[in-house]
Structure formats: C-alpha cells, structure tokens
Amino acid sequence: MSDLLVELGEPNRRIAVVEDHAIWVRGLAALLRYEGSVLTVEHFSTVDDLVNSAGMFDLVILDLILGDATEPTENVDRLNAAGHRVLVITSGERPELVRAAVRAGVLGIVRKSEPDEVIAGAVESALLGEPVASTDWAAAIDSDGEFVPQLSPREREVLAMWASGETAKSVAELLGVSTNTVNVYLRRIKDKYEAIGRPARTKAELRAAAQHAGLSPRPWWKPTKRGH
C-alpha cells in the first residue's frame, strides 16, 4: 500500500516513487505540477510495497539507497520484470550503485541536486520511454569495463583507423583488404556495442568509443592526406 497519493489536475499518467522520504516526493509532485505535468504521483517506501500493490504505472522513479537495504540491481530487475519503466533519481554519492543500476537496465540516472528543469525534463523523457542522458550515466559507462565489448584484433585496428578520420576505402587500402570487408568489420563493431547497451552508430559515437577503449592506430599508419 502506498504512503502518499498526490493528484495533479485530472490525472492521465501514473508515476510511482520508491523513496524513503515522503517530503521529497511531495516536492517532486509540486515541481511536476509547476512544470505543467498532468499525472498521479504515488509514494512507496520499498519495491516490495509497490510490487505487492499490483498497481501499473507509466514510470517508476527509484532511489538507489533505501531504508530496507535492498540492492539496486535486485530492485531494478523486479521492477523491469513487472513491466515498469525505471528512472533513477538519487543523491549519487555511491558510484558503484550507479554502475549497478546502469547495468540492470534503467532509462537513466539523475541527481537530486540537478536543477528543477533538468529533473522535470528527465521525467517527461522517461514517461515517453526515452533514455535519459546525464553526466552520471556517462561516467558510469565510462568507468565500467562491462561497457567495452570484446573486439578482435582486426576489429580494433579498423575501429582505430576509421575513428581517426579514414574512410572505409582508405582503411581497406591501408590494410590490403576490400572496402566490403572493412564495412563488414564496422557492422560487427556496431553490433557488439549495441549488444552491451551502448549504441555507437555514428562516426562521432564510434570515435568516442575508440577513445574510451584506448585504441590508436599502429605506428606504421599515416593519415590519408585530403584535398581542401
């Protein structure tokens, strides 16, 4: 059973907040009302309480540190299994908990200290099922080895060259293979990043992935000169 029910206007969307402090939930509800959201906000102290309520919600907002000492991964898994979308809004002082939540499959992670408009925007995006990017989200990915796929030596070489500015054709010439072969490698690399939940479909995203993985071309490689 919930501890608090706040109705804002004529509700057509339902949010559950799993959080120890009812006063924070009231503040969140007031913020969303101020930002023009029309929804119902319901407060639960534990994930157990929410799951046992058998209620269905458009979004669950979860704090990572709860009074019942449950693990974030377990909580996210239970909520996902029950069909709920999960957005984490937390103090963020425990990086290992943030990483665990990212691995478990939340829509995003936002600090409670963020400006009101950032929190409201994150809730709106999550209600639409859209991932919520944040510095904490990026830091969790960048510091977690599980977000680096296992690439073959040739895939690493292709990624390093291509992300450095080469075209598929010039990479093929440098490696002595066909352009089609290089494109096959690039598709495999993109698929591997997609499989670990870190899409890298654009050149900018692949360049960032290469930098994060510490990839650089072999010493003999020289960049192709391009006309101006």
Convert the pLDDT of each residue in 162-181 to its tens digit.
888 889 999 999 899 999 99
Instruction: Give the length of the chain.
Output: 228
Task: Tell me the mean pLDDT in the region 34-55.
Answer: 85
**Distance of alpha carbon 125 from alpha carbon 27, whole angstroms:** 19
Task: Tell me the mean pLDDT in the region 45-74.
Answer: 92
Single pTM value for the model: 0.60
Q: 53 with 5: CB under 8 angstroms?
A: no
Instruction: Say what the pLDDT of residue 148 is.
Output: 65
Residue 169 structure tokens: 């054709």
Q: Work out whether strand 4-8 and strand 39-44 pair parallel, antiparallel, or are unpaired.
A: antiparallel
High-pLDDT (> 90) share of the chain, %: 34
